[in-house]
Chains A and B, each alone.
Chain A
Amino acid sequence: NAGVTQTPKFQVLKTGQSMTLQCAQDMNHNSMYWYRQDPGMGLRLIYYSASEGTTDKGEVPNGYNVSRLNKREFSLRLESAAPSQTSVYFCASNPPGHSTIYFGEGSWLTVV
């Protein structure tokens, strides 16, 4: 049981480049989330998806897009990367009516 799997683990981008972070969960969870973690700022919600086919903005959505491809997969896209998007990104999921959220191992993104 892999839980929540994120790829890539590490990525360096040049300003203006685009990329997609992939996330998949094998726990049959309805809800999935993308967070970014920055020093002193904790975990901030970028986007979330309560169920397949739905997505909603979180606290810091600007500069990002998401796709809930199916129940298992939730991807995060940076269309034109900026240095301010240098961060650690975490995907997470939780089952319906259940309060525990499960995180992936993180994706370290550096934009130069």
Chain B
Amino acid sequence: QQQVKQSPQSLIVQKGGISIINCAYENTAFDYFPWYQQFPGKGPALLIAIRPDVSEKKEGRFTISFNKSAKQFSLHIMDSQPGDSATYFCAAFYNTGNQFYFGTGTSLTVIP
């Protein structure tokens, strides 16, 4: 079964708008929640990550919001730019399992 559920599958946002991608998980053993960004023809690359002991992490225009009780986390892209157009994957990891579980991905298109 899908360990990490991601939505929406695709997202179109106007330049300057806010992009929001949501993920949910079930396994409370997960202790690290990264987001990966993937451009066409390239491998995914780490964008930003959070641990469950904090509720929010911000790096530039990218923010992760984390709700431990609801077992949900989301990526917010402020002031979205055409260069942000890519596929975004959320993921979950727990050290003892040494495995990453990925969401199904969100294709983001930012329209100029």
Contact surface of A with B, Cβ cutoff 8 Å: 4, 31, 33, 35, 40-45, 48, 50, 58, 90, 92, 97, 99-106
Contacts and interface: CB of A to CB of B under 8 A. Distances in A.
B43 A41 contact: no
Given A31-B98, A104-B43, A42 B93 contact: no
Determine the main DSSP class of B at the interface with A.
strand
Contacts of A43: 44, 89, 102, 105
B42 interface: yes
B100 interface: yes
Interface of B: 6, 9, 32, 34, 36, 41-46, 49, 89, 93, 95, 98-100, 102-105
A45 B105 contact: no
Nearest to B102: A43
